[in-house]
A and B are shown apart, each in its own frame.
Chain A
Amino acid sequence: MRPLPTYVAIAGLLLLAPIAIVIVLAFGDQSALKFPPDSYGLRWFTAFFADSRWQKALRSSLLVASLSCLISTALGFMAAYAMVRGRFGAKKLMLSMLLMPMIIPHVITAIAMYFVTAPLKLVGQPLWIALCHAVVSLPIVLLILLSSLQGVDVNLERAALSLGSSRLGMFRRVVIPLAWPGIVSAALFAFLASFDELVISLFLAGVRAETLPVRIWNSLHLQVEPIIAAVSAFLIGVTALVLLLDVTIRRSRQLMIKLPAGDAR
Chain B
Amino acid sequence: MASKRAVADGSWLIAPALALLVLGFIGPMVLFFARTLISQGGLPELAALVTKVVTSEAVTTALIKTQWIALLVTLAVLLISYPLAYYMANRSGLKFTLVLFCIIVPYFTSIIVRTYAWMVLLGRNGLINQTLTSLGWITEPLELLYTETAVVIGMVYVLLPYMVLTLYAAMKSIDPSLMRAARGLGAGPFYVFRRVYFPLSLHGVISGSLIVFILAIGFFITPALMGGPSDVMIAMLIERAVEITLDWPGAAVMSLVLLAVTLALYAVYYRVTDVRRMMGA
Contact = CB atoms under 8 A, between A and B. Distances in A.
Interface of A: 4-5, 7-8, 11-13, 15-16, 18-19, 21-22, 25, 32-35, 71, 74-76, 78-79, 81-83, 85-88, 92, 94-109, 111-116, 131-132, 134-135, 138, 140, 142-144, 146-147, 192, 195-196, 198-199, 203, 213, 216-217, 220-221, 224, 228-229, 232, 235-236, 239-240, 242-243
Nearest to B119: A224
B99 A81 contact: no
B258 interface: yes
Contact of A134 (B20, B111, B270): B20
Interface string B171-213: 0000000000000000000000000000000000000000000
Contacts of B102: 11-13, 15-16
B116 A79 contact: no
Nearest to A145: B281
B133 to A, nearest CB: 12
B149 interface: no
Contacts of B68: none
B121 A18 contact: yes
B31 A115 contact: yes
B119 A19 contact: no
A100 to B, nearest CB: 7
Contacts of B214: 103
Contacts of A13: 102
Interface string B235-275: 10011001000001001000100110010001000100001
Interface string B101-143: 0111110111111101111110101110010000000000000
Contacts of A146: 276
A256 to B, nearest CB: 23
Contacts of A92: 275
A220 B120 contact: no
Contact of A112 (B12, B23, B31, B106): B31
B80 interface: yes
Contacts of B12: 82
A25 B84 contact: no
A8 B14 contact: no
List the 4 closest pairs (A to B, CB-CB), nearest first: A105-B218, A86-B11, A18-B117, A79-B17
Contact of B225 (A18, A76, A95, A220): A220
A86 B109 contact: no
Nearest to B279: A143
Given A19-B105, A243-B105, 4 more contacts: A12-B84, A78-B13, A97-B21, A216-B116
Contacts of B5: 87
A140 B279 contact: yes
8 contacts: A16-B102, A19-B105, A21-B120, A81-B10, A94-B14, A113-B25, A232-B117, A236-B109
Q: Which of A7, A74, A108, A116 has the most CB of B within 10 A?
A: A108
B6 interface: yes
Contacts of A4: 83, 86-87
Given A88-B6, A99-B278, A114-B242, A228 B111 contact: no
A108 B157 contact: no
B76 interface: no
A183 B23 CA distance: 24
Contact of A35 (B36, B87, B110, B127): B127
A85 B281 contact: no
B17 A85 contact: no
Contact of B117 (A7, A19, A114): A19
B42 interface: no
Nearest to A231: B113
A94 B120 CA distance: 43
Given A35-B127, A85-B10, A112-B28, A213 B112 contact: yes
Nearest to A7: B83
Contacts of B48: none
B114 to A, nearest CB: 7
Nearest to B145: A224
Contact of A22 (B29, B32, B117): B117
Contacts of B13: 78-79, 81-82, 86
B279 A102 contact: yes
A182 to B, nearest CB: 11
